[in-house]
């Protein structure tokens, strides 16, 4: 059993939780994920690791309430226990294998969309810990849905905020900010890492391709069971079939068949809708 030692509301229906999981915390690395299960009959939920503390033995996750299982987790409080908290799983971010001196010569830009800010944060923090200050664009629909801005400003070089409605920061999409940095502000980047909604990552990759900027994206939203057994996270990368949870979740954004990935992402939408309806019916009967 794994205790929730901290719970914090970051934005509407978005919660941060610190889980006591010493073994996971000792071996975790940015880019990896965990499998969470609330009880014996509960669904296996893959969640990207947002942060980890080797000394305290805690792992931080961020969860947005979008369905039945995420609601079950979000309804738990400090002191409550999770049945399973398995990990770290998946491949770590590739920069962890690069020589530090080489990383220090690179100009890296992270683009975080919505909840994607959570998995971006540990990567930027790790780079900062080895002396590399990356730039970060954080995008959200509006100011109220912006998360982890203060934490990101501590570890990043420059942080640029965009909101769809212009309620905070720059009005527009993250791709608008990306083009402005390169075309108007004279910024040069050797690598872009984008994590967020699938459609956002698709257009980030389309934007960076003409500039010849290496672009890495995370397909964590495709994962279901997290072991490769269900096959739900199959994706075509460079003409070859890959499993997001085993071979990823990070891949070269210029090689991904995003249209296929978007179709696969929508496969269980009707099932989730039906589950939500049944859940609300049960609650209304009480």
Q: Is the pLDDT of residue 265 over 80?
A: no
Q: Cβ–Cβ contacts within 10 Å for residue 149, how many? A: 16
Which ranges in the chain belong to alpha helices (H)? 22-27, 68-74, 100-103, 117-129, 149-155, 174-183, 198-208, 244-247, 258-265, 269-285
CB 57 within 8 Å of CB 20: yes
- Give the residue among 25, 60, 74, 218 at the shortest CA–CA distance from 151: 60
- Are 33 and 47 a contacting pair, CB within 8 Å? yes
Give the other-Cβ count within 10 Å of 169's Cβ: 19
* C-alpha separations of 99 from 192, 214, 216, 258 in Å: 18, 18, 18, 31
Summarize pLDDT for 83-142 with one digit per residue, the tens.
Answer: 999 989 989 998 888 899 999 999 999 999 999 999 999 999 999 999 999 999 999 999
Q: What is the pLDDT of residues 182-217, one digit of tens each?
A: 999 999 999 999 999 999 999 999 999 999 999 999
Distance of CA 228 to the CA centre of its chain: 19
- What pLDDT sits at residue 264? 81
Would you place residue 285 in the very low, low, confident or very high pLDDT band (cuts 50, 70, 90)? low
Q: What is the pLDDT of residue 137?
A: 98
Q: Across residues 134-153, what is the average pLDDT?
A: 95
What top-level class would CATH report for the domain 2-89?
mainly beta
Would you give the distance in Å from CA 44 to the centre of its chain?
Answer: 17
**Cα separation of 228 and 245, whole Å?**
6
Residue 271 pLDDT level (bands cut at 50, 70, 90): very low
- Looking at residue 272, its pLDDT comes to 47
pLDDT of residue 268 exceeding 80, the answer is no
For the stretch 53-66, pLDDT in tens is: 999 999 999 999 88
Average pLDDT over residues 12-32: 94
Tell me what percent of the residues of the chain surpass a pLDDT of 70.
91
What average pLDDT is seen over the chain? 89
* The pLDDT of residue 281 is above 60: no
* CB-based burial label for 134 (10 Å; 0-12, 13-18, 19+): buried
Domains 2-89 and 94-208 share a fold: no
CATH topology for 94-208? Rossmann fold (3.40.50)
Cα distances from 208 to residues 52, 172, 192, 217, in angstroms, run 31, 17, 8, 12
Judged against a pLDDT cut of 50, whether residue 280 lies above it is answered with no
What pLDDT is stored for residue 223 in this prediction? 77
Span of 5-14, 133-142, 230-239, 269-278 with lowest mean pLDDT? 269-278
Per-residue model confidence (pLDDT) at position 276: 43
Give per-residue pLDDT as tens, 219-243. 988 877 666 677 778 889 999 999 8
Domain boundaries, the chain: 2-89, 94-208, 219-286
């Amino acid at each position: 059993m794994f205790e929730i030692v901290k719970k914090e509301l970051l934005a509407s229906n978005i919660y941060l939780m610190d889980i006591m999981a010493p073994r996971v915390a000792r071996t975790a690395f940015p880019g990896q994920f965990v499998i969470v299960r609330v009880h014996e009959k509960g669904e296996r939920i893959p969640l990207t690791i947002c942060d980890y503390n080797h000394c305290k033995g805690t792992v931080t996750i961020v969860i947005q309430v979008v369905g039945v299982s995420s609601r079950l987790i979000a309804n738990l409080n400090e002191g409550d226990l999770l049945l399973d908290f398995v990990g770290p799983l998946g491949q770590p971010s590739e920069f962890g294998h690069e020589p530090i001196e080489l990383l220090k010569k690179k100009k890296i830009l992270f683009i975080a969309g919505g909840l994607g800010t959570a998995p971006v944060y540990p990567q930027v923090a790790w780079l900062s810990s080895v002396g590399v200050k990356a730039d970060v664009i954080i995008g959200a629909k509006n100011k109220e849905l912006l998360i982890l801005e203060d934490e990101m400003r501590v570890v990043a070089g420059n942080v640029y905020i965009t909101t769809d409605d212009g309620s905070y920061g720059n009005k527009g999409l993250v791709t608008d900010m990306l083009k402005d940095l390169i075309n108007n502000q004279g910024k040069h980047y050797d690598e872009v890492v984008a994590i967020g909604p699938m459609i956002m990552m698709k257009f980030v990759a389309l934007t960076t391709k003409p500039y010849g900027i290496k672009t890495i994206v995370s397909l964590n939203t495709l994962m279901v069971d997290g072991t490769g057994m269900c096959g739900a996270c199959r994706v075509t990368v460079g003409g070859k079939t890959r499993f997001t949870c085993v071979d990823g979740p990070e891949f070269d954004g210029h090689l991904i068949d995003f249209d296929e990935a978007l179709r696969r992402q929508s496969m269980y939408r009707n099932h989730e809708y039906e589950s939500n309806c049944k859940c609300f019916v049960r609650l209304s009967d009480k």
